[in-house]
Amino acid sequence: MSTVTIEPLVGNSLRRSPKLYLNPKITPHFSLNYSRKPLSANVTLRFRRRRSTFALRASSTDAAVIETSEKSDVVLTETFLVKRPERAEGKIAIRLDKGKDEENWHLSVGCSVPGKWILHWGVNYAGDAGSSEWDQPPPEMRPSGSITIKDYAIETPLKGSSTILEGEKFQEVKIDISSKWSIAAINFVLKDEETGVWYQHRGRDFKIPLIDYLEDDANIVGVKKGSGIWPGPLGQLSNILLKPEAAPSKGEASSNDGSSLKNKRLEGFYEEQTIVKETFVDNTVSVIVKHCPDTAKNILYIDTDLPGNVVLHWGVCKDDAKTWELPTTPYPAETVVFKNKALRTLLQRKEGGDGSSGLFTLDGGLSGFVFVVKLDENTWLNCKGNDFYIPLSSGKYQSSTIHSEERKQDEESNSSEILNRAPEEKQAGSMFTDEIIKEIRNLVTGISSEKSRKTKSKETQENILQEIEKLAAEAYSIFRSSTPTVPTISENVVSEAEVSQPDVKVSSGTGSGFEILCQGFNWESHKSGRWYRELHEKAAELSSLGFSVIWLPPPTDSVSPEGYMPRDLYNLNSRYGSFDELKVTVKKFHEVGIKVLGDVVLNHRCASERNQNGIWNIFGGRLNWDDRAVVADDPHFQGRGNKSSGDNFHAAPNIDHSQEFVRKDIKEWLHWLREEIGYDGWRLDFVRGFWGGYVKDYLDATEPYFAVGEYWDSLSYTYGEMDHNQDAHRQRIVDWINATNGTAGAFDVTTKGILHSAIERCEYWRLSDQKGKPPGVVGWWPSRAVTFIENHDTGSTQGHWRFPGGKEMQGYAYILTHPGTPSVFFDHIFSGYRSEIGTLMSLRRRNKINCRSMVKITKAERDVYAAVIDDKLTVKIGPGHYEPPSGDQRWSLAAEGNNYKVWESS
């Protein structure tokens, strides 16, 4: 036997590209705002034809290894630079210590994670304690090395400290504080200058109060109100309180002058938060292609210095379309077939454990070899967002060199893209969850016993149920630490209470549970100029169909005619009609028993004027904000606010909801809309753009009957195919609902996507998750899920994600029989589907199906899905056969259409 002769492969360098984020297992109440840039692979190509000694040893365990002649052509050598993520944990620490006396204190902020850390900070003075705007501290308060940032902040570098925290070196900055400076609070964010990554607290700045008349705020760190109790969720962390002096008495007030620090005894504190720094380590994946003329086969040798178990997810292409296909057998050892579309081969570890390699023998005549690298279940590496592709046909080798220079231009950029990283589990203290669970159990027990004695009024029972749901919403973010899915408390305790009294009003913002929502417009509705009058004429008709809520288009003056680029919020003369026409239309819907939702765009707002730099960030009208109302991290609009608490919408200035004056103005505006127009609730646009806690603030202030947010992002896909498990996607929606404390629902985009794919591809098995429940938000938190199959974005003339044509009624058969609050699109109502939709709505109302109804999935196979709802309705969708189970319960066919049937219990 001859031996393999292979040139040394490119070694790895240890250049690291750090990314930083908070470890959600330890501290779920901090957020890190940064955008991860797409990563791409760098490629080094070498093409040559030479004769080399290349003999492959036959092996009984590796069927792909075959004997060849000693003479083979090396036709291609290609080396990919890939970046592998590594994580290192550290601590961020905040300490407030007393100095030589009660009037002098020391604040230190430090971090044990390596990096070039900067404290970006400012203060509030005693006379402006209620303001969210920063001021610069007095010069004598600024540590050495500080620089000024505009007129409102200071940046101070953290320096090496003698402190060793859990065996790690520590960087910190110390700030001296004196009562003579009349400082009411210190605000800061921590920034890693190497990467530009910022750390904030719940999407807002850290705030350390030094006087006790500051209003309670979710971003306060340390002791507030002189009580010695940690604020809000931070009380769940492992805090170490230093021995405080006696706190002021309950009735003691602090003055607003410079003596405020003298009148209040500060309490020292120390807090640690665990954070994780993510770095990217350079590794290589090298491919050598040899052609064996004796056998007419291509032999690929793949070598990598990636550590651990490396799996190659691969296939072959037979033409230029680069469609993945399975090669002919035999396959290498440690290879499994994945969904009959690709192969997964565990590369063999090298002696000494330094990397892995594999040998692949492929038939001639193939166009290419495609692969991606799987490091673990959540981390994949690919090439510039695409699959790695190795040309195999002789005519392709030279053509690949055309792109070599183009690829080399990317060498300074990041290399490999990390795909499908699962959300980390979150963790918080159990003390709070134990108390909440105890309260819920007591309430459930109490209502059950009182119901048996029939001594408690229905109103009291409703109040108890309201408290149960509020407690459940409060507990959710804490309790989900034990599992990456929705907590048991939401699935079990709440659902028991919900089912016991499904017809009660739950709480403000979530309606009665029996709503059927009509979206009262499409993308073209503004073009008539009289849309409000057209809806006025259809009000009675919509009421007769059974709709209880209608969602109207955005009412404000807008740069775009559709209304989603609002400008002057108090100007309600729009392309849909005038202010007066809107009022008359809302009144008409109220007369026919339909409640009205206003579509409010709170994330962004278009400016009316440019600033001195020519940037559109000066607003007009009654809310004449300036650039302080715009977030600071959108480079397009040069805002002077704080960092955004969500995802930026780059077409217009993103509003900084952390500003107190902004929240005050928005709440007044929403109040005005409720009082002046008569809106009963809200549809909230693009809620991904700002923290759900602000939504809770707005809903608490306006007490809507019903509210629903549009939290829209992409579902999970693996190489173009939708994943069966969409838990991560629905988890993000549920997390947002929970951030609102359950005061609002959300459009169930997860259900829309899964239903869409199941019907389009005849894969009805998708409609059951691993636990046999509905796979969308409706399977986890049904009372907060607003289900839909189409809206003005997905359908209408935009058609961004249009439901499979001709199969819409299967979708409506599903959402109108299942729990959640169904939303019906205007275009479908006034079409050939009107009669069928009306029949399904009538069945839902007649059988009192509500947002908390119970679902029992009885069949979820390739061509058919069936479920029983509340033991009152049975629904079947798909071309496959299904009949309700026979037995004591009798069923009669109540509705039927194209590949769907609904039976009613008789």
Active site residues: 685, 710
Range list of β-strands (E), 480-604: 517-519, 549-551, 595-600
* Contact present, 780 and 490 (Cβ < 8 Å): yes
Which H helix or E strand runs over 313?
A: strand 311-317
Q: What is the DSSP secondary structure assignment for residue 789, as one 8-state letter?
A: S
Which H helix or E strand runs over 531?
A: helix 531-545
Q: Read off the tokens for 258.
A: 């410079």
Q: Read off the tokens for 643.
A: 């960092």
Place of tokens 């108890």: 464
What CA–CA distance (Å, rounded) separates 261 from 126? 10
Q: Read off the tokens for 820.
A: 């959640």
Which H helix or E strand runs over 391?
A: strand 388-391
Amino acid type, 162: S
The separation between CA 244 and the C-alpha centre of its own chain, rounded to angstroms, equals 40
The vertex-863 CA angle with 873 and 342, nearest 5°, equals 135
> Which among 612, 592, 747, 777 is positioned nearest to 682, based on CA atoms?
747
Helix 834-846 and helix 531-545: axis angle, to 10°? 50
What CA–CA distance (Å, rounded) separates 576 from 822? 25
What CA–CA distance (Å, rounded) separates 518 from 845? 15
Amino acid type, 399: S
> Which among 822, 854, 827 is positioned nearest to 841, based on CA atoms?
822
Rounded to whole angstroms, the maximal C-alpha distance in the chain is 96
3-class SS of residue 690? coil
Give the Cβ contact number of residue 354 at 10 Å: 10
Range list of β-strands (E), 102-196: 104-111, 117-125, 147-149, 153-157, 159-165, 168-178, 183-192
> Which among 636, 773, 633 is positioned nearest to 689, based on CA atoms?
633
What CA–CA distance (Å, rounded) separates 402 from 583? 65
What CA–CA distance (Å, rounded) separates 137 from 158? 18
Q: At residue 821, what are phi and psi to the nearest 5 degrees?
A: -105, 110
What CA–CA distance (Å, rounded) separates 260 from 128? 13
Whole-angstrom CA distances from 167 to 92, 163, 271, 580 are 14, 9, 18, 69
Sign of CA dihedral 580, 586, 587, 589: positive
Q: Read off the tokens for 718.
A: 């693996």
What CA–CA distance (Å, rounded) separates 440 from 491? 13
Instruction: Concatenate the DSSP letters of all residues of 586-599 into one string.
Output: HHHHHHTT-EEEEE
